[in-house]
Amino acid sequence: MASRRHLLLTALGLSAAYALDRMSGHFPDYFLKLALFTSINILMAASLNLINGIAGQFSLGHAGFMAVGGYTAGAVTVYALPWLTARLGLPDGAVFFAATLAGGLAAALVGLIVGLPTLRLKGDYLAIATLGFGEIVGVIIVNLDSVGGARGFLVPMLTTPFWVWAWMVAGLAVIWAVMRSAHGRALLAIREDETAAAGIGIPVVRYKVYAFMLGGFFAGISGSLLGHRMALLNPSSFGFLRSVDYVIMVVLGGMGHLPGVCLGAVVITLLPEALRLMGLGEWRMILYALLLLLLMLLRPQGLFGKRLTSL
């Protein structure tokens, strides 16, 4: 019954994404752009929540997965799109879907490669390792002339509202299903006590890598959507501060609490824009710091989260 309800809600969400896409031409450009960036951030925050909130790891390089996915998808659309459309007659939408999948799979593969040697670390050591991963990705991109290097990489604007909202719905549905499954319970056990989880037979490192791969996959999807909406991929857009923004979204919403994390992403995305309209945009980072300080003192489980919960 629960699985049928889950599938029904997912189908309704995809239908809503299609309907909103058909009506998006009547939305003001400013609000449509803000809604799309908010939706991408929701998917990113949900994917990081799987790693930080459910598996109990501390990743500071999640924007690196986003960069890998975005640049991989960009390379596909820039170098393969003209040939595929001219020779095979494939529509742009089909090529973009394949490119987005390629970006997600590339990010998941990088999650596997990075995860195997680093996920035996814990706490601060893991945070430093993931931070180093994010910086390494940025350095590699800057030195790759085939994807624009430090100048940035111009890609076609192929992201439509439907793709953003459909991927957001699909990503949230998959992450929710994982959280409610036996795999999700194993990740929760690892979060609460790795030693006890290993003692009852849970392969701790394997599940950590699994969480990094799935989280990296949807981060790569998000990077593909963002790059092809802005029509430009720039290494500076995927730096350390971008990763910190997503950590803030997860902590603010409540680590491990998926609806709360989504609301946290909405708040953190819209807050800088509200401050800019009020003429206080330069205070953004200071307000972030004060917000987190007050949050840790007054409500350490997050604004929308509950203590010791995964839902």
Instruction: Write out the chain's pLDDT in tens, 311 residues.
Output: 457 777 888 888 888 888 888 888 788 888 999 999 999 999 999 999 999 889 888 888 899 999 999 999 999 998 887 777 767 777 778 888 999 999 999 999 998 988 787 777 777 778 888 888 888 998 999 988 888 888 889 999 999 999 999 999 999 999 999 988 888 899 989 888 888 888 888 888 888 889 999 999 999 999 999 999 998 899 888 988 888 889 988 988 888 888 889 998 998 888 878 777 777 667 766 776 787 677 778 777 777 665 444 44
Q: How many C-beta neighbours within 10 Å does residue 231 have?
A: 14
Nearest to 254, CA basis, from 208, 299, 218: 299
Q: What are phi and psi of 230, to 5 degrees?
A: -80, -15
Residue 165: both structure tokens together? 């909202």
Question: Residues, the chain, total?
Answer: 311
3-state secondary structure of 153: strand
- Kindly give, in sequence order, each residue whose CB lies less than 8 Å from that of residue 177, ignoring residues fewer than 6 positions away: 6
